[in-house]
Amino acid sequence: MKNKIITLICLIIALLIWLFKPVYDWAAYRGKAPILFASHYALPNSPHPETSHAHSETELDEAKLINILKTYRERSHAPGLSAAIAYQGKPLWSGTVGYASLKDNIPLTTEHQFRIGSTSKAMTATLLAQLIDKHNFNLDTPIQDYLGFNPNPLWPAMTPRQLASHSSGIPHYKRNTDLMGLYYAMALTSNFETPLEALKGFDGSELLYSPGEQFYYSSYGTVLLSAVLAAASGQDFIDAMRERIWQPLDMTKTGLEADAEHLVDFYFNNKGQQTSYIPWRNVDLSHRLAGGGFISTPSDLAKLGSGYLDRHFLSQATVETMWTPQQLNNGEINPQNYALGWREAKNLLLDKYTVYHHGGVSRGSQSMLIVIPELSLSIAANINVNTEVFWDFGEVVTALAEEIILQGITPAL
């Protein structure tokens, strides 16, 4: 009997460790607890590797572009930084500084893929744009008309427009009152094959407010939107993304992390507060795929942005719809000038050019994509670490844009 009790106690302890270790790891990789049994790597002191690729006959001062990357890599305390510029719908330049892997001393190349975090929302929004453009998708039809059911019978009717503009009332990760979903988001160990499966992570949550009443940024809202888009297209969500977005735009390095061929190593350095780099724990981001789980490269992201300048890919009317900041029920524009999967920033560049953009923060990775229609520019960048202040990294894209203007590549208006 005594041995059975001891065995039972050991099994219970093992189960508790199995359940709560991911939660401990979640806290540790937020700097709230020590990271146990981790390897530490230092950034080499020698000159860091760099690559520079001009993709057109346009004469560029590539050294100045690389120097911008060096400045922002240092400012971000990142092992590596990769960036790409597209002009008039074609690749103009791409470059890298630093490392894809500190463990194996692998230099970063433009082929390396990154987690793009919430820049995934702009990608998902592009599928929405395609369905509006080609299939008369209605932004204001209640989502249950597409899904055939209401994800939560207690939720009021909401629309794709509200999901895409973060005014549906669906919570983000921290305010999710679906306890199992809260665990999924902390543990990051569960795999969800489809958006419909991922709904189980938040469809038991209460809404924060009635749809359309307020703005509240929510990746889960984008996940629900992806389920609606899949239903409307009659396709699996990933198949729809691949056939309608990635293949037409030649985004060959974009997709699911499980399919990556040249994935960088992702690092934790407590947002620049420690000099050593710890590899990020293994995570599964399928519960947030459409809102923050895709991988890509800066070159592919620049192609995505260029798609919005291509009238064969999207009509002008649809682009204007996607880039128009959305109103709340009271008629006021939401406080972040958030459109449909994109943000609008007037006079962001040189105090005169309007920029459409979306950043992203993921586990050990950050992303930034901007499109400047007046200049026919699309610029993207990625790093393989997290910063305390996002713009310590994010401003690299506007710095590159300003340099391109100074070099006379695109005429300043």
Please report the pLDDT score of residue 32 as a whole number: 86
Mean pLDDT of 166-177: 96
23-54 exposure pattern, b = at least 16 Cβ within 10 A, e = fewer: ebbbebbeeeeebeeeeebebeeeebbbbbee
Calculate mean pLDDT across residues 365-378.
98
Residue of higher predicted confidence among 46 and 91: 91
The CA–CA distances, whole Å, from 340 to 16, 167, 247 equal 42, 11, 22
Q: How much is the average pLDDT of 145-165?
A: 97
Domain boundaries, the chain: 1-35, 51-406
Tens of pLDDT, residues 107-153: 999 999 999 999 999 999 999 999 999 999 999 999 999 999 999 99
Amino acid at 186: M
Q: How many CB atoms lie within 10 A of CB 1?
A: 5
pLDDT value of residue 349: 86
pLDDT of residue 8: 66
Confidence of residue 378 (pLDDT cuts 50, 70, 90): very high
Q: Hey, which of 4-18, 321-335, 342-356 has the most confident mean pLDDT?
A: 321-335
Beta-carbon contacts of 135 under 8 Å, excluding residues fewer than 6 positions away, are 232, 233
Nearest of 364, 369, 358 to residue 396 by alpha carbon: 369
For residue 135, count other CB atoms closer than 10 A to its CB.
12
99-103 average pLDDT score = 98
- What is the rounded distance in angstroms from the CA atom of residue 255 to the CA atom of residue 300? 10
Give percent of the chain with pLDDT exceeding 70. Answer: 95
Predicted confidence at residue 28, as pLDDT, reads: 87
Tell me which of 197 and 347 has the higher pLDDT. Answer: 197
H helices, E strands: number in the chain: 14, 12
The CATH code that applies to domain 51-406 is 3.40.710.10
Residue 33: the pLDDT is 87
Answer yes or no: is pLDDT of 329 > 90.
yes
**Would you state the pLDDT for residue 20?**
73
d(CA 343, CA 164): 11
Q: pTM for this structure?
A: 0.95
pLDDT band at 13 (very low <50, low <70, confident <90, very high): low
Q: Is the pLDDT of residue 7 over 80?
A: no
Is pLDDT of 36 > 90?
A: no
Give the per-residue pLDDT at 21.
Answer: 79
Q: Of the candidates 397, 303, 321, which has an alpha carbon nearest to the alpha carbon of residue 359?
A: 397
Question: Which residue, 77, 326, 347, is CA-closest to 215?
Answer: 326
pLDDT tens-digit profile of 202-228? 999 999 999 999 999 999 999 999 999
How many Å apart are CA 355 and CA 39, to the nearest integer?
A: 40
**Residue of 144, 158, 176 whose CA lies nearest to 212:** 158
Q: Is 191 exposed, middle or buried (0-12, 13-18, 19+ CB in 10 A)?
A: exposed
Q: Looking at residue 410, what is its pLDDT?
A: 76
| Average pLDDT of span 314-334 | 98
Strands, DSSP E only, in 88-130? Answer: 90-101, 106-107, 114-115
Report d(CA 160, CA 140) in Å as an integer. Answer: 6
Average pLDDT over the chain, rounded to an integer: 94
Distance (Å, rounded) from C-alpha 366 to C-alpha 362? 6
Check whether 328 has a pLDDT greater than 70: yes
pLDDT band at 411 (very low <50, low <70, confident <90, very high): low
Query: How does strand 353-362 pair with strand 365-372?
Result: antiparallel
| pLDDT tens by residue, 278-297 | 999 999 999 999 999 999 99
Distance CA 278, CA 236 (A): 36
Across residues 286-311, what is the average pLDDT?
A: 98
* Spatial contact of 241 and 233, defined as CB atoms under 8 Å apart: no
- Quick one: pLDDT at residue 376? 97
What's the pLDDT at 412? 53
Q: Quick count: other Cβ atoms within 10 Å of Cβ 78?
A: 29
From residue 195, alpha-carbon distances to 11, 137, 229, 232 in Å are: 34, 19, 10, 13
SS3 content of the chain, % helix, strand, coil (to 5): 40, 20, 45
Q: How confident is the model at residue 232 (pLDDT cuts 50, 70, 90)?
A: very high
